[in-house]
Amino acid sequence: MDTAAFPAVDLAYLRSILGEPEGPTTQKITDFLDDNCLTFLAHSPFCCLSTSDAAGNCDCSPRGDYPGFVRAIDSRTVVIPDRLGNKIADSMTNILDNGHVGLLCFVPGMTETLRINGTATVTNDPSLLAMLEQDHSVPDLAIVVRTEQVYLHCGRALLRAGLWDADMQDLADEVPTSGAIWASMSGYDPSVGDVIDDAMAGSYRALY
């Protein structure tokens, strides 16, 4: 469906519905990581990285590793190791085009998230990469982010979603397997989905 079929509101209408943010909401936004934010990052094993290219084509990529893998170098700089992935490299090619990025960091069981917006570069600096060694593996590349906005986002979305509720994990049983989805989107016969699932299970086991 053409999205033009839906009416688009302007800023004046948007603010008439939502109102303006109140003082405490904007006062919490800083351009640096304080001690509490540093502690949050040290316990975060997962984040989403949002990027876009020079034309504005967007991407949002999940990133996960040991708690603290988004490493704070100082109060204005964080670095993210590049681990084994699908080699499409959307995030890094976008950063080469347009350095503006957004990070949303999670701590399991915590309803609030930490948002970091800033400017990123991709580096192969040997001393920096050595700091990111994990399980005797040193990454070949890393993403360095200079913070411009840092703030704790309220937990309403995660609470509404019941994201950390054990019962919610039953929803995964209602979804086709990753192999089935992959085969369908690639135009393969459904039987190929089982082969993909077996291959992915083996590659996942190799991580642990």
Average pLDDT value for residue range 183-195: 89
pLDDT tens digits, 80-131: 999 877 778 899 999 999 999 999 999 999 999 999 999 999 999 999 999 9
Whether residue 22 has pLDDT greater than 90: no
Give strand pairing partners of 113.
153
pLDDT tens digits, 152-181: 999 999 999 999 999 999 999 999 988 898
How far does Cα 44 stand from its chain's mean position?
12
SS3 149: strand
pTM attached to this predicted model = 0.88
- Please, what are the domains in the chain? 9-160 (2.30.110.10), 176-206 (no CATH)
Task: State the number of CA atoms in the 13 A half-sphere of 98 facing the CB.
Answer: 15
pLDDT tens digits, 122-156: 999 999 999 999 888 899 999 999 999 999 999 99
Q: Quickly state the pLDDT bin for 77 (edges 50, 70, 90).
A: very high
Whether residue 15 has pLDDT greater than 60: yes
Q: What are phi and psi of 123, to 5 degrees?
A: -130, 155
Apex 51 CA angle, 48 and 52, nearest 5: 150
Whether residue 208 has pLDDT greater than 60: no
